[in-house]
Chains A and B, each alone.
Chain A
Amino acid sequence: MNTHLLNTCIIGVLVLLISACSQSNLDSIASDSIVYCSESDPNTFNPQLDTYATTADASSYQIYNRLIEFDPIDGKIIPSLASSWLVSKDGLTYTFQLRRGVNFHTTSYFTPTRSFNADDVVFSINRWRNESHPYHHVSGGRYPYFQSLKLSKFIKEVKRINGYRVQITLNQRDSSFLANLATDFSIILSAEYAQNLLINNQPEQIDSYPIGTGPFKYQDYTKGQVIYFKKHDDYWKDEKTVNNLIYDITPKSTLRLAKLVTGECDIIAFPSQSELDVIVDRDDLVLDQSPSLNIGYWAFNTQKAPFNDPNVRRALAYAIDKNSLLETVYLGKATPANTLIPPTSWAHSEDVNDTSYNPILARKLLDEAGIEPGFTMTIWATPLIRDYNPNAKQMAELIQQYLADVLINVNIVNRDWTPFIEKLNLGEHDSVLLGWSADNGDPDNFYRPLLSCDAIPSGTNVARWCNDDYDQLVYQALQTDDIAQRQLIYEEVNHLIAKQIPIVPIAHSLSYQAYNKQLIGLTNNPYGAIRFSGVSKSQ
Chain B
Amino acid sequence: MMAVIIRYLLLFVITLSVLICFSLALAHMFPGDPLTNLSGVTTENAKVIEHLANKWAIDTNPIHYFMNYCSLLLQGDWGISTISGNQLAADMARVIPATIELSIYSAFIAICIGVPLGCIAGIKAYTKIDYSINAASIIQYSTPVFWSGLAFILIFCFQLKLFPLSGRISVLFNIPHQTGFVLIDIFLAENIDRKAAFMNCLHHMVLPSLAVGLVSAAALARLVRRSVIDVLNKPYISAARSRGLPFKTIFFNHVLRNSLLPVLPLAAIQITTLITNAMIIEVLFSWPGVGNFLLQAIYQQDYSALRIGMLVVSTLVISLTIFADLLNRIIDPKKGSVSDVSI
Contacts and interface: CB of A to CB of B under 8 A. Distances in A.
B57 interface: no
Contact of B165 (A5, A22, A259): A259
Interface residues of A, number: 45
A262 interface: yes
A255 B286 contact: yes
A9 B116 contact: yes
A483 B200 CA distance: 58
Contacts of A261: 158
26 contacts: A4-B248, A6-B119, A9-B113, A12-B112, A13-B109, A20-B203, A24-B199, A24-B203, A25-B193, A25-B196, A26-B170, A26-B172, A26-B196, A29-B172, A35-B172, A223-B84, A224-B84, A225-B288, A248-B171, A258-B157, A259-B165, A259-B166, A263-B161, A264-B166, A415-B301, A416-B299
A93 B174 CA distance: 48
Point out which of B83, B153, B195, B286 has the most chain A C-beta atoms below 10 A from its C-beta.
Answer: B286
A226 B248 CA distance: 53
B251 interface: yes
B112 A262 contact: no
A264 B116 contact: no
Contacts of B187: none
Contacts of A259: 165-166
Contacts of B115: 9
A31 B178 CA distance: 28
Contacts, number: 112
Contacts of B202: 16, 19-20
B300 interface: yes
A246 B158 CA distance: 22
B32 to A, nearest CB: 11
B6 to A, nearest CB: 38
Interface of A: 1-2, 4-6, 9-10, 12-13, 16-17, 19-22, 24-26, 29-30, 33, 35, 219-220, 222-226, 228, 244, 246, 248, 250, 255, 258-259, 261-264, 415-416, 418-419
B295 to A, nearest CB: 10
Given A25-B196, A26-B170, A258 B248 contact: no
Given A255-B165, A416-B299, A5 B116 contact: yes
Nearest to B173: A29
A6 B116 contact: yes
A240 to B, nearest CB: 20
Interface string B58-84: 000000000000000000000000011
A2 B248 contact: yes
B170 A264 contact: yes
Contact of B166 (A22, A33, A250, A419): A250
Given A2-B119, A2-B252, A250-B166, A262 B172 contact: no
Nearest to B117: A6
Contact of B172 (A4, A9, A30): A30
Nearest to A1: B248
A16 B256 CA distance: 25
Nearest to B174: A228
A13 B252 contact: no
Interface in B126-167: 153, 157-158, 161-167
A498 B143 CA distance: 54
B266 to A, nearest CB: 21
A17 B105 CA distance: 13
B120 A6 contact: yes
B220 to A, nearest CB: 13
B238 interface: no
Nearest to A25: B196
B123 A9 contact: no
A474 to B, nearest CB: 33
Could you say which of B115, B153, B172, B299 has the most chain A C-beta atoms within 10 Å of its C-beta?
B172
Contacts of A248: 171
A219 B196 contact: no
Nearest to A35: B171
Nearest to A33: B172
Given A222-B94, A228-B174, 19 more contacts: A2-B123, A2-B248, A6-B119, A9-B116, A10-B116, A16-B202, A19-B199, A25-B193, A25-B196, A29-B196, A35-B171, A223-B86, A246-B172, A250-B166, A250-B286, A255-B165, A262-B165, A416-B296, A418-B300
Nearest to B161: A262
Interface in B223-264: 247-248, 251-252, 256
B179 to A, nearest CB: 16
